[in-house]
């Protein structure tokens, strides 16, 4: 029998004449347009994905009007895909591949580029159904519902997600409170909490970025939660500024003493000193050194609560000990070991400043007001406490700054003789002398100072307070009215 090779199989010559075949599809049928829509699509796909051979059952099945399935689903069924690309859950529309006469030979055809746009679209729908849309967060949907034209812009913030914090429009500047070498402090208002806040605005250099002191202050304050340490509420980061949002405290100890010259009420001195030691003890237990204890960095609330502030020079002291810069602490409150060039210091660095502030609150004037340089400052100290020797302070003469050509030799004297008012305070001289020791190893620590007999008159409940509770919460603890106002008694 003569046979002719067609595109889809072998047919005999007689079948060619009749235009019909039991075993395949003839070229005459192709030209005559008798193929169903499904067969045409299969033929088109064969150009790109290999050959498809159609069996007799398939041809008969087609003649009966049945739809040939693709990927296990009928053509009609695929037209009813849901908008998100999901397939309807109807089991009766699923076909079984095992009972169908379709065999595919997957290969990449060289003429796949010849497919027209209709074939590409049909192939895309059949082979790669559209994925359902990604779900959006409930918060985002609610905001979009309120304002459909709202534009979501990228913001620089230390707080992630959709938090209301970290946005500059959440705070309003009211007035400038002060200005430093790298920051300006404003009084502000928070639209989030409806409270007055302090805004410490740090100017950023485009090439240098944020100052290391600002990064250090932020990293330390976020972990220090204590009633006698200023609270950091928020951080706002823009392209040109880095703003720290602090709780607002209306004055500091320096301004408070200026308004009450000649020395403070002795009860208030005791209460301020206790709170200062309480805050420093909390820091020192966590191995954090403030390194800049001075009246300007001690905030005073209207009720009389004292808070440590400005941790720009603070450092976390690690183990083993590292060396630190000796250019720390304002000159008047800098200890003699640091003035002499020592870089091996610990919590005793802060305690010297506490002793200087304690005496200043009593007298109303700085204890060691050096005016020229470090040797002038050392001279002020040694006039009262004496010039150190190897007998009184071992190792002091080997410090880098110890130079007898620039230092005078003084004999030590009692603090009460230099500061007579200390004699009027029970245990006042002993407290001051314990804090103002030339040898840092002999200086009283913060926790030990809190237990000093100088504080015996304060309620015992103060020692039982949790860290974030104020001493003013204890019954009977409050500031007394200051008697000295504008230099008058």
Q: Give 463's contacts (C-beta < 8 A, 6+ positions apart).
A: 450
CB-based contact 104:49 (threshold 8 Å): yes
Give the whole-angstrom CA distance, residue 382 versus residue 412.
8
Q: Which 8-state DSSP code applies to residue 442?
A: G
The verdict on whether omega for the bond into residue 320 sits within 30 degrees of 0, i.e. cis, is yes
292 is catalytic: yes
Catalytic-role residue among 58, 234, 252, 292: 292
- In 3D space, the residue among 307, 288, 283, 424 whose CA is nearest the CA of residue 359 turns out to be 424
Give the whole-angstrom CA distance, residue 362 versus residue 418.
13
Give the whole-angstrom CA distance, residue 374 versus residue 160.
46
Q: How far is CA 41 from the centre of its chain?
A: 59
**Residue ranges of the alpha helices (H) in 196-347?**
212-221, 253-259, 266-285, 336-339
200 marked as binding residue:
yes
Give the whole-angstrom CA distance, residue 175 versus residue 37.
79
Compute φ and ψ for 234, nearest 5 degrees: -160, 165
Q: Which residues pair with 184 in a beta bridge?
A: 179, 201
Active site residues: 292
Binding residue numbers for ATP: 200
Binding residue numbers: 200
């Amino acid at each position: 029998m003569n046979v002719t090779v067609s595109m889809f199989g072998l047919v005999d010559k007689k079948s060619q004449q009749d235009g019909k075949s039991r075993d395949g599809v003839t070229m005459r049928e192709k030209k005559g347009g008798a193929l169903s829509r499904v067969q045409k699509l299969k033929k088109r796909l064969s150009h790109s994905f290999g050959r498809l051979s159609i069996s007799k059952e398939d041809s008969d099945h087609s003649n009966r009007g049945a739809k040939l399935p693709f990927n296990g689903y009928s053509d009609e069924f695929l037209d009813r895909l849901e908008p998100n690309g999901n397939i309807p859950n109807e089991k009766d529309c699923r076909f079984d591949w095992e009972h169908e006469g379709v065999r595919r030979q997957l290969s990449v055809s060289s003429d796949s580029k010849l497919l027209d746009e209709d074939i590409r679209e049909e192939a895309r729908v059949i082979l790669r159904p559209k994925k359902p849309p990604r779900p959006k967060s409930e918060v985002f949907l609610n905001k979009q519902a309120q304002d459909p034209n709202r534009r979501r812009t990228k913001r620089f913030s230390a707080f992630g997600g959709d938090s209301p914090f970290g946005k500059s429009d959440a705070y309003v500047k009211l007035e400038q409170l002060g200005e430093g070498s790298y920051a300006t402090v404003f009084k502000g208002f928070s639209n989030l909490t409806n409270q007055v806040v302090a805004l410490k605005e740090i100017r950023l250099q485009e090439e240098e970025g944020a100052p290391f002191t600002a990064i250090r202050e932020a990293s330390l304050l976020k972990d220090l939660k204590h009633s006698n340490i200023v609270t950091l509420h928020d951080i706002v980061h823009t392209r040109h500024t880095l703003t720290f949002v602090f709780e607002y405290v209306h004055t500091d100890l320096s301004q408070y003493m200026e308004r009450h010259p000649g020395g403070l009420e002795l009860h208030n001195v005791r209460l301020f000193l206790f709170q200062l030691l309480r805050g420093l003890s909390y820091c020192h237990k966590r191995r954090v050194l403030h390194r800049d204890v001075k009246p300007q960095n001690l905030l005073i609330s209207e009720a009389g609560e004292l808070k440590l502030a400005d941790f720009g020079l603070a450092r976390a002291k690690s183990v083993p000990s590292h060396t630190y810069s000796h250019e720390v602490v304002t000159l008047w409150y800098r200890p003699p070991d640091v003035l002499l060039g020592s870089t091996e210091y610990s919590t005793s660095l802060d305690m010297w400043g506490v002793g200087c502030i304690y005496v200043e609150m009593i007298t109303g004037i700085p204890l060691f007001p050096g005016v020229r340089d470090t040797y002038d400052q050392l001279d002020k100290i040694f006039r009262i406490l004496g010039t150190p020797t190897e007998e009184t302070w071992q190792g002091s003469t080997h410090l880098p700054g110890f130079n007898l050509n620039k230092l005078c030799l003084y004999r030590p004297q009692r603090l009460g003789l230099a500061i007579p008012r200390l004699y009027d305070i029970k245990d006042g001289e002993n407290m001051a002398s314990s804090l103002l020791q030339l040898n840092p190893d002999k200086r009283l620590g913060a926790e030990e100072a809190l237990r000093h007999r100088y504080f015996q008159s304060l309620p015992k409940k103060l020692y039982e307070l949790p860290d974030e509770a104020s001493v003013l919460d204890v019954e009977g603890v409050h500031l007394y009215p200051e008697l000295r106002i504008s230099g008058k008694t």
